[in-house]
Amino acid sequence: MKHVLITGGCGFIGSNFVRHTLEYFPDYRIVNLDKLTYAGNPGNLTDVEKNSNYRFVKGDIVDAALVQRIFAEEQIDTVIHFAAESHVDRSITGPAEFVQTNIMGTFNLLEAAREAWLANGKTGASKDTCRFLHVSTDEVYGSLGETGAFQETTPYDPRSPYSASKASSDHLVSAYFHTYGLPTLITNCSNNYGPYQFPEKLIPLVINNALQGKALPVYGDGKNVRDWLYVVDHCQAILTVLQKGRIGETYNIGGNSEKQNIEIVNLICDILDEKVGLLADGQNRRSLITYVKDRAGHDRRYAIDATKIRTELGWTPKVNFKDGMRKTVEWYLDHKAWIASVTDGSYREYYEKMYGNR
């Protein structure tokens, strides 16, 4: 049995990961530590709440005593660290929380693992079987020009407070491997999409607005490029790295599916027109597209070279972009109550602040 601490398991990727792992790996006990920020929703996991291999703890990764207690109580031998402030736009208007959670929270988890696993660690777990897997982002590598792709050896060049805080956490993880021999793994993944993504991110925001006949805000010229990956493919990649990755290594994960933002927005409009019919005024949903003021420091293009994880560990994405997008739109259509529950008063306040004067 593996005793796994998942942080941020009530967020978008974390909740998909918890569900996927409990379904396919009955020998994993999962403790999910989540602070339940605006992005964390225990309702994302109601279907697994009663699973005897699952425990939820509401708490902050910055709380050292709490993290140490969980390590001891649950004999934790594996950490999969998702918890983070994850939205670039929020990092521009309020960076402090990003430094606190993404840097100090990661530091705190590393310290707890070091204390538990190394130097006659308190849990008695063997360093050979323990793993600390840190889930990070391609944004740490900066912005690409027209060609090329990020490799594991690409120098770090973060350009937003979000990516700078993630880069900083990656460096800490790497330092704990080199300095203390902590058995770490780092994954740097491209943009995810799929069920349970909070509607502040491009795809769910556009689906939600398009369903309501509201303007679809496209930053700048709409030609920034992201490399999209279906979230369950990301979860499977993380499990592959956990099970087969070489300790101390970094693995890039990507969908090999580069799209301009405007292509994504057009595609969502077309799928919705087909599935729910045109707008009340007879117009198609592309008529809602509104170009707005660009994001400050907006990275132009991301693309991942996933050769290492493919050739060393045998992972490739399974879901192609068109199928994944159709599945995603269908999920949001089938889960309107979920959207309503996460877009309450505080979401409307956020929306007004971010988009009011754009």
Active site positions, annotated: 138-139, 162
Per CB under 6 A, 106 contacts ligand NAD: no
Q: Which is nearer to ligand NAD, 36 or 289 (CB)?
A: 36
In the complex, least distance from residue 3 CB atom to ligand DAU, rounded to whole angstroms: 27
- What's the half-sphere exposure (Cβ side, CA atoms, 13 Å) at 140? 24
Residue 301 contact among ligand NAD, ligand DAU, none, beta carbon within 5 to 8 Å by kind:
none
Q: In a 10 Å sphere around its CB, with 0-12 CB exposed, 13-18 middle and 19+ buried, how is residue 19 labelled?
A: buried
- Residue 152's φ and ψ, nearest 5 degrees, are -60, -25
User: To 10 degrees, what angle do helices 321-334 and 202-212 make?
Assistant: 50
The residue with tokens 């994880």 is 309
Strands 78-81 and 2-7: parallel
Which residues lie below 8 Å from residue 159, measured CB to CB, with a gap of 6+?
Answer: 139, 142, 143, 297, 299
Residue 83 contact among ligand DAU, ligand NAD, none, beta carbon within 5 to 8 Å by kind:
ligand NAD
Give the 3-state secondary structure of residue 32. Answer: strand
Contact 269, 288 (CB under 8 A): yes
List the one residue out of 79, 66, 65 whose CA is nearest residue 110: 79
Per CB under 6 A, 135 contacts ligand NAD: yes
Residues 196-215 that bind ligand DAU (CB under 6 A): 201-202, 205
Q: Which is nearer to ligand NAD, 12 or 177 (CB)?
A: 12
Q: What is the spatial distance between Cα 89 and Cα 161, in angstroms, rounded to a whole number?
A: 9
Q: Which is nearer to ligand NAD, 109 or 288 (CB)?
A: 109
Per CB under 6 A, 217 contacts ligand DAU: yes
Residue 207 contact among ligand NAD, ligand DAU, none, beta carbon within 5 to 8 Å by kind:
none
**Phi-psi domain of 277 (left: phi exceeds 0; alpha: psi -120 through 50; beta: other):** left
E-state strands within 254-356: 258-260, 289-292
- Residue 259's φ and ψ, nearest 5 degrees, are -140, 145
Q: Of residues 4, 6, 13, 303, which one binds ligand NAD by CB under 6 A? A: 13
Q: Which is nearer to ligand DAU, 112 or 304 (CB)?
A: 304
Contacts 24+ apart (CB under 8 A), 123-128: 123/71, 123/72, 123/75, 123/76, 123/77, 124/75, 125/75, 125/76, 125/77, 127/181, 127/183, 128/183
Residue 36 contact among ligand NAD, ligand DAU, none, beta carbon within 5 to 8 Å by kind:
ligand NAD
Per CB under 6 A, 139 contacts ligand DAU: yes
Q: Of residues 45, 61, 88, 172, which one binds ligand DAU by CB under 6 A? A: 88
Q: Of residues 15, 32, 224, 240, which one binds ligand DAU by CB under 6 A? A: 224
Number of residues that bind ligand NAD (CB under 6 A): 31
In the complex, least distance from residue 66 CB atom to ligand DAU, rounded to whole angstroms: 25
Q: Of residues 32, 137, 187, 266, which one binds ligand DAU by CB under 6 A? A: 137
Contact 133, 242 (CB under 8 A): yes
Residues 269-308 that bind ligand DAU (CB under 6 A): 295, 302
Per CB under 6 A, 261 contacts ligand DAU: yes
Number of residues that bind ligand DAU (CB under 6 A): 19
Residue 230 contact among ligand DAU, ligand NAD, none, beta carbon within 5 to 8 Å by kind:
none
Residue 302 contact among ligand NAD, ligand DAU, none, beta carbon within 5 to 8 Å by kind:
ligand DAU
Residues that bind ligand DAU (CB under 6 A): 86-88, 137-139, 190-191, 201-202, 205, 217-219, 224, 226, 261, 295, 302
Residues that bind ligand NAD (CB under 6 A): 7-8, 10-14, 33-37, 39-40, 60-62, 82-86, 101, 105, 135, 137, 166, 189, 191-192, 198
